[in-house]
A and B are shown apart, each in its own frame.
Chain A
Amino acid sequence: MHYSYDMDDRFFDNWSTQLRKGMLELCILNAIGGTRLYGYDIVRRLREIEALVISEGTVYPILSRLRREGFLQTTIEESAEGPPRKYYRLTEKGTGILPRMNDCWVKMKTGADGLKGAV
């Protein structure tokens, strides 16, 4: 049974990794929301979501991609505590897509929850 347990673990790990990867963009955009946030603060907020356990380094490349794709914009501001900081804020495009992504997620979650009692 040990073998089967390992297989189950591996299956669960793969599945949850894929799920987290898919959720990460939504979580990042939600974390920023209507405010502007420093990259490190975004990572810190995501760190608080236990089920989202991720390598912190995965967040930055996604921020970079979302910026390139026009969902985020950055501003660099001087900081009294150290080097200049890069702040992220949603663009118009980002603000437009976020409610759609949240709707989609809610529908998926509601649908998946509804299936639980179907058997």
Chain B
Amino acid sequence: MVELSENARKGLDGYLRQVRSYLGWSKSLDRDEIEQNITEHIERELEGAPEPVSSSALEGVLARLGSPRQWVPPEALSWWGKLIVKLPADSQDWRLAYVSFGLLLFGFIFLSFGPIWLVLFPAAFITARAALAAAGSPEELGAKRWLLYPSLLLVCLPLASALLGGVGLIAGIIGAELSELHWIRRESNMGVVAFVITSATLITSLWWMVMGLVFCKWPGCVRHVFRPFADGFTRRRALALAGAGVLLLALTGGFIALYMGGAFGPLMS
């Protein structure tokens, strides 16, 4: 590969990132093949150019190659992609960012005026996701991200919390209800608080292990749902989640063993 200046390298990375993102709207195109075509084309175009190649020289080549969007022909687009290509992708166009933030703001203003927020908040989220998709990659959003991310966080944060802790919470509540009936509590004479915490952590650990293994198989699901916050989510991270589950299970098992052995005395009864 010809040697690029730092700015030119950033420019090329940004272009490839956008192409990759748009290629995500089509299942029929071969990403690797297209990326290879782009890099080969650039390489040939810049042959003989003084190195390191300046960003202006690279920009000329990229301009002739055309917009990253046109790498995905309309007939290869999914329905969502067809919708997105109609949206403004210009980095100077702030309309979608304003609409998303406006919807979010109105959602909060009208929070105490009935359930209209149930429409406004999802609409703000969908608009923000559409703006992100139209931009191609989070890096292309620039300062617009500060208007878009609040709407995305409003959905992503509760969803992530529910995914990580929701099952444990439910297990804790059920544990509290069943505390008098469960054999572990009867056998160990475990206090209600200790039993609830144990139930919650035990189920949470198992849930994290299952989630970790599922996400290890399909890490793209996490990246897609929590975009752009989980763009770096890989199989390794999924395995780390499963590992955290194993660790929590071991700690819970150790706690139960110690409790049954009377190590905590009258504590947590």
Contact = CB atoms under 8 A, between A and B. Distances in A.
B197 interface: no
A61 B28 CA distance: 11
For chain A, the bracket of interface size reads 20 to 34
Given A55-B66, A55-B67, A61-B71, A40 B40 contact: yes
Given A40-B44, A83-B43, A60 B66 contact: no
A42 B199 CA distance: 66
B67 A39 contact: no
Contact of B70 (A55, A68, A82, A85): A55
Q: Is the interface of A mostly helix, strand, loop or mixed?
A: helix
A107 interface: no
A61 B29 contact: yes
A60 B29 CA distance: 11
B243 to A, nearest CB: 39
B251 interface: no
A14 interface: no
Given A40-B41, A60-B41, A82-B43, A55 B64 contact: yes
Contacts of B70: 55, 57-58, 61
Given A54-B66, A55-B65, 13 more contacts: A40-B41, A55-B67, A58-B66, A60-B37, A60-B41, A61-B29, A61-B72, A61-B76, A62-B73, A64-B33, A64-B34, A82-B44, A86-B40
